[in-house]
Structure 1
């Protein structure tokens, strides 16, 4: 078993022109090719157009992962009835979506994905100080379902009449993270 990489050894950098992403590889599974292509071909362009923000993660000089965040919403009906926010009368909840999250093939199972998720929670918690947002969403690749389930994400309810997708939608209520930030 490989040793986990401690979070304090990871450096999170917002993607910019000077970051070389060409060494990043996460294509060991065919369904993940688009994750690598996005980082190398589209992430900076999308960021420069204010569609998304991508943060790359370094361990020393090595690019070991990245994640991309965008705004989103989730329909009340997609959440388990007990998870719905009492007294909220609107059809959609504002959300932040993890549009992409990937770990370099050579650094999987070393805690990087979990550490990135903790960083995402921190970012989203900070956003809530200025913008209303309560839910974190992600459309998971089938190979990542276990990761999100272990991280306490809930599977969104899907209308059985909708056409099947290549991803599985999840959501996470960040209320306890917001409360924890306010109590510091």
Structure 2
């Protein structure tokens, strides 16, 4: 689990340092995310399924935000969509020239990449729209870069963003893996939007967030 960190009136703590009372008091406005924090986050961390980290106010002892990270893989196709092409087009040639990399299945016509998964990011609804989400995401990006700097290879940080949160992530480096859900004919309103922030883009753009 992540080590503790204390600075400027906040503490960043692993989930095993958080009381059931603090978890029960947290409300981000989304029931299944609240339920995960209260009922599953600790055991999932203990089982190394996903590691949950909590940002807590030293003054109020309330949970400000939390996030959960895991290692995973993603599959995708290269399609005629601008953000998908920007993310993946360079790998068409790479896959042909480097078949030993095994990132492409010609039978399924799919590409496979290792990623870090952002399973959850939630902010206390009492302080949403105050920059807490952005600051928490910066912390996550810093963790991602530290993993890269330890010599671990992966393409980027993947999230299945809630539909009403997609613009938040899109404004902060993430790009649509498939299509921009706002540019589709008809009543296309998915529950989540698969998005990716490539690690090279995180490294380049983090100072500007």
Q: TM-score, normalised by structure 1?
A: 0.80
1:179, CA displacement in angstroms? Answer: 6.8
Going from structure 1 to structure 2, the CA distance change for 1:118 and 1:105 (only over 3 Å counts) comes to: same
1:105-120 paired onto structure 2 within 5 Å: 105-120=125-140
Residues paired across the two proteins, number: 167
Q: Distance in 1 between matches of 2:163 and 2:204?
A: 31
Give unmatched runs, 5+ long, in structure 2: 1-6, 96-102, 104-110
Going from structure 1 to structure 2, the CA distance change for 1:143 and 1:22 (only over 3 Å counts) comes to: same
Larger relative helix fraction: 2
Give unmatched runs, 5+ long, in structure 1: 1-6
Cα deviations by residue, 1:77-106 (Å, 9 ceiling, x for unpaired): 267123224454212111011101100110
Going from structure 1 to structure 2, the CA distance change for 1:146 and 1:136 (only over 3 Å counts) comes to: same
1:51, CA displacement in angstroms? Answer: 0.2
Shifted more, 132-141 versus 14-23: the winner is 14-23
1:73, CA displacement in angstroms? Answer: 1.9
Q: Which residue of 2 aligns with 1:172?
A: 197
Going from structure 1 to structure 2, the CA distance change for 1:133 and 1:111 (only over 3 Å counts) comes to: same
Following TM superposition, where does structure 1 have runs of at least 4 consecutive aligned residues deviating by more than 3 angstroms?
Answer: 7-10, 17-20, 85-88, 176-181
Q: Distance in 1 between matches of 2:151 and 2:69?
A: 16
Larger Rg over CA atoms: 2
**Cα contact 2:160–2:195 (8 A) shared by 1:** yes
1:134, CA displacement in angstroms? Answer: 2.4
Q: TM-score, normalised by structure 2?
A: 0.71
1:12-51 paired onto structure 2 within 5 Å: 12-16=12-16, 18-19=18-19, 20-27=22-29, 32-51=30-49
**Cα contact 1:94–1:134 (8 A) shared by 2:** yes
Q: Which residue of 2 aligns with 1:141?
A: 162
1:86-97 paired onto structure 2 within 5 Å: 86=91, 88-89=94-95, 90=103, 91-97=111-117
Going from structure 1 to structure 2, the CA distance change for 1:119 and 1:88 (only over 3 Å counts) comes to: farther
Going from structure 1 to structure 2, the CA distance change for 1:168 and 1:24 (only over 3 Å counts) comes to: same
**Cα contact 2:55–2:65 (8 A) shared by 1:** yes
Q: Secondary structure at the match of 1:16?
A: helix
What is the RMSD of the two structures over their aligned residues, measured on CA atoms?
2.5
Cα deviations by residue, 1:119-154 (Å, 9 ceiling, x for unpaired): 111111111123211211100111211111111210
Shifted more, 146-155 versus 11-20: the winner is 11-20
